[in-house]
Amino acid sequence: MANLIDWFSPADIVALPDGVSVGDVLLISPPLLADSLRITAPDGRVTELAAEGETLAYTGTDQLGLYRLEILKTGEVTQAQHFAVNLFATGESDITPRPQADLQLGGGLATAEADEQLGLQEFWTLLAAAALLLLAIEWWVYHRRLQAPTLLRAAPRFPWGRLRSSSA
């Protein structure tokens, strides 16, 4: 099954580990029968490289954007791949704790002071309790109106009210 997947989805021409940053050197492994490579930069600038050797180094990643890499065999494009050059740094999303010796702010070391701590008071519990109290009062008032009539209050005999006499 793995061989079938490799056959139907051939390996990429450019192996991109985590992305390409501006100014990085891109290592390209062209196929064996390739004559040359054509790289189109985001601004339309075209660079052609002769496919000599197993690995080619491309240093023209000086622009941000999407590049197109084409493999040429006898002047015709046989394979194409896109790659992006961006400002993404993999260290920006690394949230593992770092030793205190590695922390620097503005060129100087940051010192941690254990005595000072910033604490924030949360008021959402008070607001939730007030909202729950308001709902409980509203529920009590609503169900109080639906109770059966008491002895002090006379209830109408018919649902539409008392009948009036026609002798008036």
CB contact set of 140 (below 8 Å; sequence gap of 6+): none
| Third-level CATH fold of 2-91 | Immunoglobulin-like (2.60.40)
Q: What is the band of 120 on the pLDDT scale with cuts at 50, 70, 90?
A: confident
Position 90 scores a pLDDT of 66
For residues 144 and 45, the model is more confident at 45
Structure-model confidence comparison of residues 89 and 50, the more confident one: 50
Residue 135: the pLDDT is: 96
Judge whether 46 and 86 are in contact, CB under 8 Å.
Answer: no
Domain spans, the chain: 2-91
pTM for this prediction: 0.49
- pLDDT, one tens digit per residue, over 59-103 is 888 888 899 999 898 888 888 888 888 887 666 677 888 777 666
